[in-house]
Amino acid sequence: MGPQNNIIGKGISVSPGIIEGPVKIVETPEDVDNINAGDIMVVKSSDPLFALGVMSSAGLICEIGGALTHICIVSMEMGIPCIARAENITESLKDGMIITLNASEGLVYSG
Amino acid sequence: MHPKDWFIVGSINLVEDFKTSILEISERDGKTTWPIDLNSISHLFIGEFDKELLQDIEKMEYKGHAKYNIGQAFVTPQRIIRLLIPFVQGLSTLGLSRELRREKVEYLLSLVHELKHGDPSNRDGKNIVLSPDELNNIIGPSWLSESDKQSSLLVHKLCGILWAYVETLFFKTHGLVREFHGPYTLPGYDGNFLFRDFVCLKPTELWEESSALPFSRARIVAAYDQLDMSVDIYNHVSIPEGRTFIESLKSYYVECDGKILEPSEIDSLCKDLSTVMRSIHKKVESLEWQKRAEKYADIFWYSKKQLRDILEEDWAVPEAVRQQIQHGEISTKQKQISQRELQIMMKLSF
């Protein structure tokens, strides 16, 4: 990460990997249908249907929970980079914003 | 001495190991509340469920069924493990003494012990269900396909969708219908085997939509290269930080109802699972809380359907229980049991 990248969120690493992409905040099961390949999915809660979004996305940030939160387990199974317990992360993110998720370290950077 | 007899001689281990294992994972557990918090509605049916379950077991014993056969009626050891905490909560409503409650818990754990080759509570970080001989007979080396990146992604996509699928159908209690077991080693084969068994994909009595699926059971057998795995009492699989299943898969096979699936068939199954899942999810979301609670009751009663089938009795939730749910109230005081409360409950209850 260069000096231009600020850390905007932290969490615990669930499934490793580093990816860059646009944010897609998913609040309802319907939002899952609007995920594009390469999006980084951000959720506040867990719902089994969110798994279909995980399948299409490049990464997952979960505001709550931990390694045993079901959506996190699904991301681990599918090998999608994922962090959990990224408290209040949705306050710093907006749909379409480009971020870098370093899921190996549990860090979220702007840009 | 039978290799398992030490558990019987020192039977206190069964209960205490169970308590220790549950407490160890309760802090890390996901606290799933979709589609309704089980703790807030279980008081409406769990006492009656326990009463029936104990009666069913008693009838099985009276008819001369061996303990192993009674255990088999629960289909997987994990089903018994997953029933235990709600079961204990239900026992407190039946007015049994602590000693009697402990006896009942110990009995159910002894069924788990009958069904597994390894430690009933996975205290060693392994869930060893199969004996070495059974493992040898089950894994047909010719069935195993070498993995590449593409196939590994596909197989693990299936694993993820299956997980979400059973959660959609069985809510928080989806552990009733899956068993993740291993890691196993096979002589002459370099790799650790993990079995992911999904034993009830078409519970049409609960969800008619599931009849659209081509298979009832799925087993994913995966051999991982140099991957140190551990499996806790609730069958959560942990791997070392920084490692992934995808990169570590060496070989695999996917077996559904006895048929080994080709990659194109795995892909097709993923699509079928997604379709059925969406349709059931939509139905659940449209239900009032009482109907969601009734569905939970259906799931619990369904989990002992095989017992009822053997006894040639109807498995369904009694009408009185449905009435109790319809006229009952959500409990706010029982929502989200904390680690401390669970600890106290386990100490005092049994």
State whether residue B292 sits within 8 Å of chain A by CB.
no
**Secondary-structure breakdown of chain A: helix, strand, coil percentages, each rounded to the nearest 5:** 25, 35, 45
| Domain co-membership, B197 together with B245 | yes
pTM assigned to the model: 0.95
| Domain co-membership, B149 together with B260 | yes
For residue B101, give the 3-state DSSP assignment. Answer: helix
| Domain co-membership, B256 together with B270 | yes
Torsion of CA B118, B123, B126, B129, to 10 degrees: 30
Instruction: Tell me, rounded to whole angstroms, the distance of Cα B160 from its chain centroid.
Output: 16
Residue in A46, A50, A66 nearest the CB of B28: A66
Q: Which of residues 168-187 of B touch A (CB under 8 A)?
A: 168
| Domain co-membership, B277 together with B155 | yes
Give the span between the Cα atoms of B302 and A34, in whole angstroms.
Answer: 36
Give the span between the Cα atoms of A35 and A42, in whole angstroms.
Answer: 11
> Contacts of residue B28 in chain A, CB cutoff 8 Å?
66-68
Domain-ending residue, one of B284, B300, B332: B284
Is B121 inside a domain boundary?
A: no
> Contacts of residue A63 in chain B, CB cutoff 8 Å?
none
State residue B8's pLDDT score.
Answer: 47
Domain with residues A3-110, CATH architecture? 3-Layer(bba) Sandwich (3.50)
Burial B3-16 (b: 16+ CB within 10 A, else e): eeeebeeeeebbbe
Domain-ending residue, one of B243, B264, B284: B284
| Domain co-membership, B152 together with B274 | yes
Residue in A17, A48, A78 nearest the CB of B157: A78
Give the side-chain half-sphere CA count within 13 A for B273.
31
| Domain co-membership, B235 together with B137 | yes
B28–A48 C-beta distance less than 8 A: no
| Domain co-membership, B245 together with B180 | yes
Domain-ending residue, one of B238, B256, B284: B284
Nearest residue to A55 (alpha-carbon basis) of B201, B29, B162: B162
Give the span between the Cα atoms of B163 and B179, in whole angstroms.
Answer: 11
Kindly list the residues of chain A whose beta carbon comes within 8 Å of any beta carbon in chain B. 13, 15-17, 29, 46-52, 54-55, 65-70, 72-79, 104
Which token pair is B112? 């788990």
Give the span between the Cα atoms of B36 and B40, in whole angstroms.
Answer: 8
What is the extent of the structural domain holding B331?
5-115+288-349
| Domain co-membership, B108 together with B145 | no
Give the span between the Cα atoms of B203 and B194, in whole angstroms.
Answer: 25
Q: Which pLDDT tens digit goes with each residue over A50-95?
A: 999 999 999 999 998 888 899 999 999 999 999 999 999 999 999 9
> Which of B156, B158, B163, B229 should be substituted to probe chain A, the one whose Cβ sees the most A Cβ atoms within 10 Å?
B163
Q: Which pLDDT tens digit goes with each residue over A29-52?
A: 999 999 999 999 999 998 999 999
The radius of gyration of chain B from alpha carbons, rounded to an integer in Å, stands at 20
Q: Is the pLDDT of residue A1 over 80?
A: no
What is the least distance, in Å, from the CA of A43 to any CA of chain B?
14
Give the span between the Cα atoms of A90 and A25, in whole angstroms.
Answer: 8
Q: Where are the beta strands (DSSP E) in chain B?
A: 145-146, 178-186, 189-198, 218-224, 230-231, 237-238, 249-256, 259-260
Is B28 inside a domain boundary?
A: yes
| Domain co-membership, B25 together with B159 | no
B157–A70 C-beta distance less than 8 A: no
- Which is it for the CA torsion B200, B34, B284, A59, positive or negative? negative
A49–B168 C-beta distance less than 8 A: yes
Which chain B residue is nearest to residue A55, measuring alpha carbons?
Answer: B157
pLDDT in tens, chain B (350 residues): 344 544 444 444 899 999 999 998 887 766 788 999 999 999 999 999 999 999 999 999 999 999 999 999 999 999 999 999 999 989 988 888 999 999 999 999 999 999 999 999 999 999 999 999 999 988 866 789 999 999 999 999 999 999 999 999 999 999 999 999 999 999 888 889 999 999 999 999 999 999 999 999 999 999 999 899 999 999 999 999 999 999 999 999 999 999 999 999 999 999 999 999 999 999 999 999 999 999 999 999 999 999 999 999 999 999 999 999 999 999 876 556 777 788 888 888 88
Is B81 inside a domain boundary?
A: yes
| Domain co-membership, B314 together with B177 | no
| Domain co-membership, B270 together with B149 | yes
> Residue B301, Cβ neighbours under 10 Å: how many?
23
State whether residue B49 sits within 8 Å of chain A by CB.
no
| Domain co-membership, B18 together with B85 | yes
- Domain count along chain B: 2
A49–B164 C-beta distance less than 8 A: yes
State residue B189's pLDDT score.
Answer: 85
Contact A35, A26 (CB under 8 A): yes
For residue B350, give the 3-state DSSP assignment. Answer: coil
A75–B281 C-beta distance less than 8 A: no
A104–B31 C-beta distance less than 8 A: no
